Every structure is written in structure tokens, then in C-alpha cells.
Amino acid sequence: MSDVNQSTQKIRVWDAPVRVFHWLLVLSFAGAYLTAESEVWRLVHVTLGYTLGGLLAFRLVWGVIGTRYARFSSFVRGPGAVIRYLKSIKAKQPEHHLGHNPAGAVAIVLLVLLGLGITATGYITYNDLGPGWISELHDLLANAMVLVIIGHLVGVVTASLQHKENLVRSMVTGFKTGSAEQGIRRTWTVVAVAIVIAVLGFWWLQWQSAPKADNTVAIQTPTEASK
């Protein structure tokens, strides 16, 4: 159901863990995608891929126990709700939702599923645990995720213009417009900090396992050079 209360009060909608998850996911996928074809950046690609999987695992848990608008139950709807929302967009009378709208929810579910598939196929490929077509599936899923992201961005821009609210900024600040009772009570900053520490710690451990460059230069004696 759309939120019809048109109060102009600024309220907190997105908690800190959701916002940190969102931007770390953007960074991880973008970095992994851009380094996919480079052997030099292979460890970076793998590290960011594992980070992606870990972030998605957290989001699945937070989607059940998190704050009001973070829970899947608050925004995942059936096909009827999605169609109704799209019709309202087409009619330029969009339903207003404080959390994710039904169309955005579809994109989120697809991104989660694709991300988990990418992580799983990437792990199998990297550790040589399956047939060669798994690698091709890995690439296919990654490209499909790019298409979903493009669609998601188009939706964000469209909704921002029609609702006259900056959805990107709200995912940075956590604030949107609504009545006081619609806002969340806690931001759970400590959980967000724990996510950042866990990610940075994992990256540090991965860096320690990176092969060290051999900068030693062999010095030949005149006798050895003449041989």
C-alpha cells in the first residue's frame, strides 16, 4: 500500500546498515566487473567478488531482522502491485512509497539473486571445482546484473523526477519526507561500523596473501657473464 500522508517533516527511513551495504555493494560489483578480464588484478577481482557475496548474505539476514523499511516484508509485493505501480508511473500519477516501490523491489530481488549466483559460480571457477561452462555462466550472470542495474538506475531517475525527491541523496543521508510516526527509531550505526570493519579486515587478509613481487636483481660476475 502506498503512503498517502503528505507531511513535510524530514524523517529517517534508511538505517545505517542498509546505506553502508548499498554503497559497498556498488563498489564491490563495479570493481569486480572492471577487473574481470585482467590477470594482474585477479586477486582484486576475487576479493571484491567474495565481498559481494558476504554483503548479500548480510542483506538476507537484515531483510528479516532489520528496521522497518529494510525488511523484505515491507516492500516485496506480487505482480499485481508491480503492474499497478507501473501504470501509475505511466499516467504520471505515481504511487508514493517511503521505502522501496514495487518496481524497485523487483530490481532488488533480481540483484540479490544474480549476485549470489555470480558469487557461487565465481567461487567454483576460481577453485576449479566444476565444468568449463560454469565460467561462461558466471560471465552471463554478471552481464545480466549490469542490465538490471541500468534498469534500476532508470527507475531511480524516473521516480526522483516524478516524486520530486532525490532518491540517491536519501540513500546517502537516510532521510525522506513523511510523518513522524513513519520514521524509524534507530539507525543501528554500530552494525554499519561492524560491516565496514569486517570488509576492511577481509581486504587486509586478502592483501597479505597476495604474491610478493621479486625485486631482486641477479648480479653476474664477469666470469659468469662470459659463459
The answer to whether position 190 is within a domain reads yes
CB contact set of 151 (below 8 Å; sequence gap of 6+):
107
d(Cα 203, Cα 55) in Å, to the nearest integer?
13
Instruction: Give the helix, strand, coil percentages of the chain, each rounded to 5.
Output: 65, 5, 30
Is residue 206 included in any domain, yes or no?
yes
Count of alpha carbons within 13 angstroms of residue 144, beta-carbon side: 16
- Per DSSP, 69 falls in state G
Do 47 and 203 meet the contact criterion of CB atoms below 8 Å apart? yes
The domain tally of the chain equals: 1
Residue 126 lies in a domain: yes
Residue 3 lies in a domain: no
Name residues whose C-beta falls within 8 Å of residue 82's C-beta, 6 or more positions apart in sequence: 102, 103, 105, 106
- Is residue 79 assigned to a domain? yes
Q: How far apart are CA 227 and CA 222, in angstroms?
A: 9
- Which alpha helices (H) appear in 91-132, and where do they start and end? 102-126
In a domain, 81, yes or no: yes
Q: How far apart are CA 12 and CA 174, in angstroms?
A: 6
The pLDDT, as a whole number, for residue 214 is 53
**Cell numbers linked to 151:** 534498469
* pLDDT at position 218: 45
Q: What is the pLDDT along the chain (227 residues), one digit of tens a residue?
A: 444 445 578 999 999 999 999 999 999 999 999 999 999 999 999 999 999 999 999 999 999 999 999 999 999 999 999 999 999 988 888 888 999 999 999 999 999 999 999 999 999 999 999 999 999 999 999 999 999 999 999 999 998 998 889 999 999 999 999 999 999 999 999 999 999 999 999 999 999 987 765 554 444 444 544 44
> Within a domain: residue 5?
no
For residue 161, the enclosing domain spans 10-225
1: Cα separation from own chain's centroid = 26
Determine which helix (DSSP H) or strand (DSSP E) holds 132, and give its type and residue range: none
Answer yes or no: is 1 within a domain. Answer: no
CATH of residue 209: 1.20.950
pLDDT in the model for residue 2: 47
